[in-house]
Amino acid sequence: MVSETLKAAFSLLVFPGLLFLSSFGMFSEWLDRKLYARMQYRIGPPWFQPFADFVKLMGKEVIIPEAADEALFKILPSFAGAAVCTSILMIPVWGPSSVYSFQGDLIAVIYLLTIPTVTFFLGGWSSTSPYAAIGSLRVLTQLFAYEVPLLMAVLGPAILSGTWSITGISAFFASHPALLPVNLIGLAVSLVALQGKLERVPFDIPHGETEIVGGAFTEYSGRLLAFFLLATDMEMVVGAALISAVFLGGAMGLPGFLGFLLFVLKAVVIIFILSAMRALMARIRIEQMVSFCWKILAPLSLLQVLINLIVKGLI
Amino acid sequence: MVRPAKMLKELMGSLCTDPITVRYPYQRLKMPPKYRGRISCKADLCVGCRLCMRDCPSGAIQIIQLPGEKYLFSYHSLLEGKKVNVQIEKPGKKKFKAVIDLGKCLFCAQCVETCPRKALSETEDYELAALSKDSLFRTYEGDGQTEK
Amino acid sequence: MSKITIPLGPQHPALKEPGNFMLVLEGEQIVGATVRLGYNHRGIEKACEDRSFIQNLYLIERVCGICSHSHTTCFCMATEDAAKIEVPKRAQAIRVLVGELERVHSHLLWLGVAGHEIGFDTLFMYAWKDREQVLDCLEMISGNRVHYAINTIGGVRRDVTPEQKAEILKRMDILEERTKYYIQLATQEPTVLARAKGVGHLPTEEAKKRGAVGPTVRASNVPFDVRKDDPYLLYDELDFKVITSDSCDVFGRLVVRVFELLESFKLIRQVVNDLPEGPISVKVPRKLPAGEGVGHYEAPRGEDIHYVRTNGTEKPERVKVRAPTLANFSSIAYMLEGGYLADAPIVIAAIDPCFSCTDRALSISTSTKGEYSLSWEDLRKLGIEFYRSRGIDFTRIAK
């Protein structure tokens, strides 16, 4: 019983939980900023920059608006971080198996990943500043836009492999690597939807810097902001891990450390693609995004589900 | 014709080339000749007309006359009944020094054009950041330069 | 839905300079906009009356950073008009050269800023990378990247050598290729088109009624350009087109500015290849005879007007500056209403605002007490009392 609790605490706090996620999150933020800068003929930040930003923000004063609900304001960043840390426990990171896996953990992970978005909304709403109110409304509108294509896109591989657990899906693709190209459309759709979930250009409408200052984060400062930004970094890692496990076959059956290396490699490739998307396009308006997601992404993901049903029937 | 991801080729190309930003101060850029840097003065040539002070838009330059050598002699005054000391300036060329306040200077070089004796000249010195306001006053005496 | 009022400015990431736009929003749509100015007023016109003409050259140049040469040239033209001075041809050609280089600089800067406002930071970095080419040209000719200080009353202060001419031509070739790439990018990239087409609509009649100038009005299909309508310097001898577009929106303004870049390259090549010989300035007395003069200039943002009145001393009696952004300002309120909040930054950026140019004192007094003037101490006291009556006490902040 004690060893079970210790094992759980280790997984949640050290690997693959809080400590691993935050350091890998900072590494991926550095990688993203460095790639973004090099694509623009600039030099880019040194490797310790995200850590330095985190330390600097921790040392700043926390200013809470008078009209805001103080308790809610303060506790929201921890909720975001906690939800993200819990979701990594169900994605295979070290080798082909995850810490906890059960049928339906695919849906659980996607659900857990919407919790940070809801905390952004609540954080912006409880700030009672006009910029934050508009930002939080945009967060929710954007949630309605990308959530459905994302869910339907990951549904495709689940149908093909006949199981609802992420470990099962990646094990299926590890044993049938020839079936990987069937999900290409789904991969593209989920990458675009992930860009929307992480609120990066072209979908960084909720915290559009030149329009509404900071969006939902306008009134946040100091260590609360540090944890919110850390939660977004961790979300990027979890999103990349989810896509690599569901669409790219995860660890491909390799055990232990080799599987971990493969996971890191795939995560880096996904981050490269996300950075290229960020450098390539301008920010679009919220109603353009909603119409784009519902008119183009959702039908494409439906098409993917259809293809998978046909292939499943054929094999 | 609409082409999404139009910039992709250029982006991938720029990943392989060097960045165009330079790591100052390890790499310094070379300024072209006649760059508007610090103004320098040969105070020997200055005659004290102070036309540069009139034309400076911000009042950055000051021409100060240096005290010259004096003759000293004394005589017994019958009127006051005691010894009186007199100082008379030696006739000859007056000496001046120029003090330029870099905090006010625009580096427009209008003083360089206005000076009838061509005592002022432009340099290309641009690394003029200072840690204290006093070091922004540059004094030019004789042919060289001292910092105050 | 209830209406909320959101202040855009004076401090806002979208604005490069302080200005205030109070937007009344219903959801994401703007239903009302009030524009307010005055945050950058520095009292330049009054300061001009205390300084001689030579000192004023440098003061007027610092009205704006990007259109600095426009202001100096316009001031020199107004003074030369007042004092009946004839400027030699070579000086006029060098003024045209630096003016067109400045136009290239300003339009490339605008392209970057517009990219930044719509979230397209890559375009921002690329446009400013190319802007370095033109800044190197200007540094070579005049010794400084902005605030060139190349004008003096009666001519220019520096000459252009043949090596500089060859270097300029080389860089213009590089820039022309890059500009053609930007034209392709602007017309083919779907996100840019989505943000720029149909945004900030200003029909022709409204543009004429509100007195818009520069690329803003040329994008509403009105061919109004001072270089063609009232030629100054050498523009009546040079060959170029006035670019207009009939889309009346932000996309039109983008197209007009990018094609104007190509026209500027043509103009620069003509001037450099055909630079007339002669002196670069005439000697001008310090005390100018009494008279009045007006200078017109097509700055990168529109029509710039300076008025100078001399009275026989070495200081001007009155200097009035009417910058182009002031003329474009009333169009902003029209363009913002009915649009979305997300469009507000790009609409404001599309007229290329330069609030530093804009703030001049205009007192329309409707009170019957008559005019009165305040000393500096009285003005400070008035300011403190005004804010105290609104509940803001500065003594609390001073601790």
pLDDT digits (tens, 9 = 90+) for B56-78: 888 889 888 888 777 788 888 88
- With helix as H, strand as E and coil as C, how does C167-210 read? HHHHHHHHHHHHHHHHHHHHHHCHHHHHHHCCCCCCCHHHHHHC
Given a contact cutoff of 8 angstroms between Cβ atoms, the answer to whether C36 and C47 are in contact is: no
B131 domain-assigned: yes
Confidence label for B147 from pLDDT (cuts 50, 70 and 90): low
What share of chain C has pLDDT > 70, as a percent? 93
Residues of chain C with pLDDT under 50: 363-365, 398-399
Supply the pLDDT for residue C349: 86
H-helix or E-strand containing C258?
Answer: helix C250-273
* Interface test with chain B among A41, A43, A278, A292, by most B beta carbons within 10 Å: A41
Residue C125 contacts A where some CB pair is shorter than 8 Å: yes
d(CA B127, CA A46): 26
Q: Are B61 and B111 in contact (CB under 8 A)?
A: yes
- Of residues C374 and B130, more confidently modeled: B130
Of C25, C116, C194, the CB nearest to A284: C194
pLDDT at C393: 65
Are A282 and A304 a contacting pair, CB within 8 Å?
no
Q: If you measure CA to CA, which chain A residue comes closest to B23? A: A43
Residue range(s) defining the domain that contains residue B140:
21-67+93-147
Residues spanned by the domain of C87: 44-325
Is residue A54 predicted with pLDDT exceeding 90? yes
Report how many domains make up chain B. Answer: 1
Q: How far is B143 from chain C (nearest CA, A)?
A: 25
For residue B106, the domain's CATH number is 3.30.70.3270
Return the structure tokens found at B75: 């005589």
The CATH code of the domain that includes C267 is: 1.10.645.10
How many whole angstroms from its chain centre is CA C42? 17
Q: Which of A35, A38, A280 sits opposite B8 (nearest CB)?
A: A280
**Average model confidence (pLDDT) for chain A?**
87
- Residue predicted with more confidence, B4 or A158: A158
Average pLDDT of chain B, as a whole number: 83
CA distance, residue B10 to nearest chain A CA (Å): 8
Name the DSSP letter for residue B93: -
C120: closest CA among B11, A279, A292, B5?
A279
Rg, Å, chain B Cα set: 27
Using the beta-carbon criterion (under 8 Å), do B15 and A35 form an inter-chain contact? Answer: yes
Is residue C359 in a domain? no
Give the pLDDT confidence score for residue C364 in this predicted structure.
Answer: 47
Model confidence at A250, in pLDDT bands (50, 70, 90)?
confident
The number of distinct structural domains making up chain C is 1
pLDDT digits (tens, 9 = 90+) for A101-123: 888 888 999 999 999 999 999 98
> Which chain A residue has the Cα nearest residue C113?
A210
Predicted pLDDT at C365: 45
Task: Answer yes or no: do A39 and B5 touch at CB < 8 A.
Answer: no
Per-residue pLDDT tens over the stretch A75-100? 999 989 999 988 888 888 887 778 88
Say if the Cβ atoms of C149 and B54 lie within 8 Å.
no
Interface check C345 vs A, CB under 8 A: yes
What are the structure tokens assigned to A176, written together?
């049938």
Question: Is C151 within the bounds of a domain?
Answer: yes
Residue C391 maps to a domain: no
